[in-house]
Structure 1
């Protein structure tokens, strides 16, 4: 055996030295023994020079050199991809167990001991990484796909290494998943009392399913409850255990119709009464001290605000809504433009009592659907006909394109905010898809309550990291170290301890508005949103063109810039780069929209807040969906996506009532609802603004006839849209000028 290994090693060195390819003959994936042998031989032929420690470890494991692999592991794996960090202990226990004659027993024993000596938070994070976000199926599929796509009898060293690493992930997780699932779940039972069979009757006869989590061995004194109200059945147990580990009672209440509830599933519609009744139930339990706090993100942020619509329950002491959606405001439409991602979400949450991951992850279905819809040009309200499956919730959305009573009944509306007098901590991110929903609640609360006890925490986070713990990088942008705060485990529970137990307020909340300034490694703290800025950069559109860029001027001017969009043309799209991913790139599509560029900035500035727009234009139709993207063009000629806005001209004045434009007559459209950001803009940078018309496969298409946009189709696209912007059009960027401090 040693001789054959040496021969293979020498062959590998020879092949690597001359850059030659490695012979490769596929076997059946179903033949696990033949596949394992092939991967071992391939690993032996892999040259490990210049590989990271983690890659070397993985190759050595597949070679069967478990002792060498463990030596590599114990020396320290320095550079660890962020998606691999939660799994290092699985890798170590796997390699150690492979040295035993009984792999399964050895792995179970060592992993059980590891879990047993871990603290509550560590095990909760294991649950999140390995059970809640179970990576096994992805890794197995990824290897199988890569293997299946090889159509040559020779492969390069790079391909061989890639295949071995993917096989490592596939085989490690598929051979250990059942064991670590069981060990982690058994450990939960050892630490917590979990009652998952509670069903609470609502006053109207409906049912809400509740899960209760208490830490074993804790004191018998009455406790405060931390409530998560969620439609995402089966995904919130870790949050409830975290609450219990922090000395509270964790409570999960699922949307009526979910889990054990026999009621019909109706997302969004009944949280405004059901959550209040759940709080009432909690306050009457023998273990309750009549103090309830809520937290949660996205839908689970919306439910907190919904609970406050009619009145604030006396037991509810605080809410911490993170990245909260606001139905009718930013979901399923934003600024009255309906986006199609909500189409698949409806099946995800309503197909069964839990969640339909298979439907949600059927990306081929959803991509095919949106591409077919775009190519054929059928009406948006026929989307489920193309899909071949009735989407009841989607069809309901179709009937409510404005912010009407259907949406208003879900969350506080206008003066209903005036009675909300509890402390609130709103958390969102600059790149959170639901930022404008979160800020809608924040702004409305401040509009109807003078100086409310309402704090804002916002930084360079997206919809996911603003609910948990940010990683070092987001969409290829490296975060400042000061931005790397643990939101769920630290900030939120420091807030709960402050409100419920009279402890110190979280140190990061030095004022009412707390925001991380990108590229300065600092936080700023202000008493209000308006205090974030003390100056403005105002740019007027200008027709003077140099190369691909129109100009931006400080003053209004008589120039005009024309744009034509042919809605019949389905070979191209408009506004395809509005979404900020990646955040920084070398180039943008200079043929997509009207591109304007400023002169170089003469000094550093900090953009603080939401950019605003006042557009003056005329069109040959009655309506248009328009967009504005703002970039920083760095001195190194990199484009950084700062913010964007998409809106419908006919709803610019009032989201509740449509006001059609008069064709070929100048119209003035203003907006102030763009994504908020705080970032240092270096001297020498330029501001690039892209003004566009929305026409792509990600959202409904407004053909401009004045009819219900959902019913318009390519039949309404006979005449191209012609739009002329005047030099009175301006975009204003709020900035913080340190000179004016």
Structure 2
């Protein structure tokens, strides 16, 4: 036995050591010797880099490493392997990716000296460019964007911080090689490549990138316009309104021009070349109409305009319908933000900490501050500092490093009041929206509540609404066309991986060019049932409310389909002063499929094993009947499927400030220790086959996390409450006549 453990110890030691590369042969203190360090590491990695489960990452790393090794034929072969993998998701991306390196390699192979490098590079560039489809040519420019200063800084930091005791972890060595590969090839060729691209594109497109339009109230809007030189004029225009100003946005307009539309990018007021203040969401309802007025007066316009875009861009399309311009013929809002109380910057009247991170992202400059937004460590530290110190939520911006006027303005509107209502259609405004609309969202889209708010209200106030929905197992980016085959531990059904870009183009052709309606749209509501590999279609969201299973919250932790008593209850006690869980909460992965679930500050209710499978499609609903020793509380219900394999699948989430449950426009405080009732609604829609033998699990609790405001229950403005307001622990009794309704379609 001792011999076995000794052998096992030696094996583990060898395995550990093989994860490092010795650098004793290199003078690592000589920073200018970076090239020699990288070349040595690349020579070691070619034999020691173990094949990864993700073949895409594996080949992406290898072909770069072998460029450094000057093994060019092998590198090109590995790049081809990477493209073949990517082809499954996007042929346009697959044919283009790595072109900057392919052109460089082919130039080096023909021009080993510098004498005629530029001339041969131009020949190779042109050869590659002309082989690419037009839409691949359009995105080629994104592969020639890089920041040499940042890359050099990153390279030096890896060498300084990750080389220890004359060795480096293989993972860090790979990072270093990747950074150096881009830095080296970029310095040698990218400037020349960018200029060649501009020259070639002039033959295909006419681009106007700095157009200014003055609004009636003297606001300045900046537009970029792309015309296809080979397409007949006039044409219909597709308008994209964005707050994420970036030179790369012009590629979106080029793609539209490639499909024989005029592509127009509208930067929101205050962004790009506008000298106005940046005030997100506040001016779209008027400014988009001003832009459309300008568009339809141009000689290349036929007077028809459509809009497309996701997230903020999706919201802006709905803002445009509040005062619908006659020339706006259709919109395709993807993952549209439900500004106000739906999903941002509040979820059912609970402000999210993410709001200040997003605001810095868009208001720090006239462009978009990617570096600040991507600094996860900074933002987690900010959230943690606010959480553990117990300062008022109103100070979150200062804790992050600087005050923010818009953040403070938002906090002054905790109800869905006129400030928010002025930004989007409200009630009867929807009755005047008579254009065809195609909405896209996903079961795991952070802005699903917003997307469905617009859809449901359009149907509610306009009986003849010509409004279609596509919804499937997509997150926020998936609903914008970037569908992931694997999503937080869940592998989507193959049938869910649809070509949304193709459907969107068919929709525009259908509305603006009298083409055929997209064949994918079988009915108004098109949804994918997870676990069945099938799409289903109904004519109304009301179809999902016809059949429901009712489960009561019993005091013994059972979700029972039989009502026992309305006097018994389940108790929950929470110390709102306790912040010892900060790191634990910040580290939660929130995967869709989990081995265990987080149960702190909550009660767990579970059904018996289900005797037969069924389709759960729609929004769960119900009533929570409870009493509390405070004047308010922020409550949540997370609904899971505990599958026969013992893993939990997150089906839907519900969060709400209890005092706004009856009316999100006016706060109604609770009466301490009096039995109250709130309705569960406005939660995530989902469609999934629930397997026989599974159990449904409801996690019911109180919101206490660094990611949201903390409601101490005093009745004061929650943004002004502090940890000093916590006082005695929050005590809540959930009575056993509380229930949830599960929408089902029996098989």
TM, length-normalised to structure 2: 0.89
* 2:202 maps to 1:189: yes
The aligned residue for residue 39 of structure 1 is: 41
Aligned to 1:323: 335
Give the direction of change, closer, same or farther, for the CA distance of 1:498–1:236 in structure 2 (3 Å limit).
Answer: same
- Structure 1 pair 197/89, CA: closer, same or farther in 2 (3 Å)? closer
Alpha-carbon distance in structure 2 between the residues aligned to 1:88 and 1:683: 47
Decide whether the 8 Å contact of 1:70 with 1:96 is kept in 2: no
In 2, distance between residues paired with 1:655 and 1:605? 34
CA distance in 2, matches of 1:136, 1:428: 38
Q: Is residue 194–residue 212 contact of structure 1 (8 Å, CA) maintained in 2?
A: yes
Structure 1 residues 647, 579: closer, same or farther in 2, change over 3 A? farther
**Counterparts in 2 of 1:695 and 1:141: CA distance versus 1, 3 Å:** farther
Which piece of structure 1 moves more, 379-388 or 244-253? 379-388
Distance in 2 separating the partners of 1:471 and 1:283: 38
Aligned Cα root-mean-square deviation (Å)? 2.9
The answer to whether residue 466 in structure 2 is matched with residue 453 in structure 1 is: yes
1:291-302 maps to which residues of 2 (within 5 A)?
291-302=304-315
Alpha-carbon distance in 1 for matches of 2:405, 2:16? 62
Return the match for 2:538 from 526, 533, 541.
526
Deviates further, 525-534 or 697-706:
525-534
TM-score with structure 1 setting the length: 0.89
Pairing 1:121–2:135 present:
yes
Are 2:622 and 2:739, in contact at CA under 8 Å, matched by a contact in 1?
Answer: yes
Q: Deviation of residue 403 (structure 1)?
A: 0.6
Residue pair 2:42, 2:66 contacting (<8 A) in 1 also: no
Determine the C-alpha separation between the residues in 2 that align with 1:128 and 1:583: 32
**How far apart are the structure 1 equivalents of 2:365 and 2:62?**
44
Distance 1:721 1:79, change over 3 A: same
CA drift of 1:185 comes to 4.4
1:173 maps to 2:172: no
Structure 1 residue 638 corresponds to structure 2 residue 640: no
Question: 1:509 Cα shift?
Answer: 0.7
Q: 1:249: how far off?
A: 0.4
1:306 aligns with 2:306: no
Q: 1:607 aligns with which of 590, 608, 616?
A: 616
- Residue 64 (str. 1) matches residue 70 (str. 2): yes
Question: Structure 1 residue 420 and structure 2 residue 411: aligned?
Answer: no
1:509 aligns with 2:521: yes
Corresponding position of 1:689? 698
Query: How is 1:13-412 mapped onto 2 (pairs within 5 angstroms)?
Result: 22-25=21-24, 26-43=28-45, 46=48, 54=59, 57-71=63-77, 87-99=97-109, 100-102=111-113, 105=118, 109-127=123-141, 131=145, 147-150=159-162, 152-153=164-165, 159-160=169-170, 162-177=171-186, 178-179=190-191, 180-219=193-232, 221-234=233-246, 235-310=248-323, 312-329=324-341, 330-412=343-425
Mapped partners of 2:368, 2:52: distance in 1: 43
Change (3 A) 1:34 1:634: same
Equivalent in the alignment of 1:626 = 635
Deviation of 1:367 (Å): 2.1
Which SS does the other structure have where 1:279 is aligned?
Answer: helix
Question: In structure 2, what is the equivalent of residue 5 of structure 1?
Answer: none
Contact 2:208 2:224 in 1 (8 A): yes
- How far the C-alpha of 1:123 sits from its partner, in A, is 2.4
Find the partner of 1:556 among 556, 560, 563: 563
**Following TM superposition, by how much is the alpha carbon of 1:243 offset from its aligned partner in structure 2, in angstroms?**
1.1
Structure-2 change in CA distance of 1:69 and 1:416 (3 Å)? closer
Map of 1:465 onto structure 2:
478
How big is each residue's C-alpha offset from its partner over 1:575-601, in whole Å with a ceiling of 9 and x where there is no partner? 949998321121223445211211111
Q: Which runs of 5+ in 2 are unaligned?
A: 1-13
Distance 1:96 1:115, change over 3 A: same
**Offset of residue 141 of structure 1:** 7.3
Report the counterpart of residue 490 of structure 1 in structure 2: 502
Are 2:577 and 2:726, in contact at CA under 8 Å, matched by a contact in 1?
yes
Aligned match of 2:10? none
1:669 to 674, 678, 696: 678
Once the two structures are TM-superposed, the CA of residue 64 in structure 1 deviates from its matched residue by 3.2
Query: Which position in structure 2 is the counterpart of 1:699?
Result: 708
8 Å contact 2:100–2:143 — kept in the other structure? no
Secondary structure at the aligned position of 1:236 is classed as helix
Paired position in structure 2 for 1:588: 597
The 3 A distance-change label for structure 1 pair 299 and 482 is same
Kept in 1: contact 2:39–2:69 (CA 8 A): no
Q: Is the contact between residue 103 and residue 125 of structure 2 (CA under 8 Å) also seen in structure 1?
A: yes
Contact 1:616-1:666 within 8 A present in 2 as well: yes
Alpha-carbon displacement from aligned partner over 1:237-275 (angstroms, at most 9, x marks no partner): 222111111111011111112222222222211111111
Indicate if the aligned counterparts of 1:652 and 1:669 stay in contact, CA closer than 8 A: yes
Matched residue SS, 1:31:
helix
2:83–2:97 CA contact under 8 A, matched in 1: no
* Cross-structure match for 1:7: none
8 Å CA contact 1:578–1:644 kept in 2: the answer is no
Contact 1:147-1:163 at 8 Å conserved across structures: no
| Contact preservation (8 Å) 2:79, 2:98 | no
Report how many residues are paired.
711
Confirm or deny: 8 A CA contact 1:43 1:62 kept in the other structure: no
The 1:660–1:574 alpha-carbon spacing in structure 2 relative to 1, beyond 3 Å, is farther
Separation (CA, whole Å) in 1 of partners of 2:179 and 2:509: 42
CA distance in 1, matches of 2:656, 2:310: 25
| 1:75 CA drift (Å) | 7.4
User: Does structure 2 conserve the Cα–Cα contact (< 8 Å) formed by 1:600 and 1:685?
Assistant: yes
SS at 2:48 equivalent: coil
Take 1:447 and 1:174, find their aligned partners in 2: how far apart are those partners?
56
Range 282-291 or range 615-624, more displaced = 282-291
Q: Assess if the C-alpha contact under 8 Å between 1:539 and 1:554 holds in 2.
A: yes
Q: Deviations over 1:553-587 (max 9, x none)?
A: 00222331111111111112699499983211212
CA contact (8 A) 1:207 1:257 kept: yes
